[in-house]
């Protein structure tokens, strides 16, 4: 074998190996399982407890209003100084960036954890200000406690120092995803976003992955 033929053979082998490497990497990029960064599925989806409240427009709102669509639920209150308006603004941003097909059947609900002060009028001014399609719900203290426990939320009154008749509310800052069967399906921890990453883009991407996986499970009869 001449030196020239040997070199040509070596080049062919190297090209073949490079093609294999490119093929493997391309397959991994295209078909590797997509992973979520901030959304976590509950190990076992659990049905939301029965409850009855009112939406900000005065309609009765119960656990049945979660059926047949996906829901992103946040537990907050209208006089919250920072966490709640930030969360509602970010959720609105997420809704603008998710797949349009998923947006069609996703509702956003803010359940008030301060039902004594959050009248329907206050909710009607507060919640739709972030997005006209968002829904504010007042279910009263006892009913809201039931729902919160069912989902995995805690909230309680905290007296304001120097103002004995005033209080604020300490509450869970997570957002929750409820599936069309009315079950708590996943939760979102916005404060765990990595430094330098865009929270809205990360959650929107995670939500798209969540819905794609849920669709695959449905297609497979699971």
Please give the annotated binding residues, written as ranges. Answer: 80, 84, 171
Binding residues for Cu cation: 80, 84, 171
Angle between the N-to-C axes of helices 83-97 and 199-219, in degrees from 0 to 180, rounded to the nearest 10? 60
Distant-in-sequence, close-in-space partners of 122: CB < 8 Å, separation ≥ 6: 78
* Structure-token pair, residue 12: 């062919």
How many CB atoms neighbour CB 96 within 10 A? Answer: 11
Cα dihedral angle (187, 189, 190, 195), rounded to 10 degrees? Answer: -140
- d(CA 169, CA 153) in angstroms, rounded, equals 13
């Amino acid at each position: 074998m001449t030196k020239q033929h040997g070199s040509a053979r070596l080049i062919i082998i190297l090209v073949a190996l490079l093609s294999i490497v490119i093929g493997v990497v391309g397959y991994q990029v295209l078909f590797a399982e997509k992973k979520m960064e901030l959304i976590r599925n509950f190990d076992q989806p659990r049905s939301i407890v029965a409850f009855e409240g009112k939406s900000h427009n005065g309609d009765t709102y119960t656990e049945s209003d979660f059926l047949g669509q996906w829901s992103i639920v946040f537990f907050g209150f209208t006089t919250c100084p920072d966490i709640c308006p930030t969360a509602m603004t970010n959720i609105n941003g997420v809704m603008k960036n998710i797949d349009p097909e998923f947006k069609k059947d996703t509702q956003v609900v803010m359940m008030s954890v301060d039902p004594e002060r959050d009248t329907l009028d206050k909710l009607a001014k507060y919640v739709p200000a972030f997005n006209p399609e968002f829904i504010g719900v007042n279910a009263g203290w006892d009913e809201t406690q039931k729902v919160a426990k069912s989902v995995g939320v805690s909230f309680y009154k905290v007296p304001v120092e120097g103002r004995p008749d005033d209080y604020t509310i300490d509450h869970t800052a997570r957002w929750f995803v409820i599936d069309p069967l009315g079950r708590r399906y996943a939760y979102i921890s916005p404060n765990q976003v990595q430094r330098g990453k865009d929270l809205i883009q990360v959650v929107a991407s995670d939500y798209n992955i969540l819905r794609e996986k849920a669709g695959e499970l449905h297609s497979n009869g699971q």
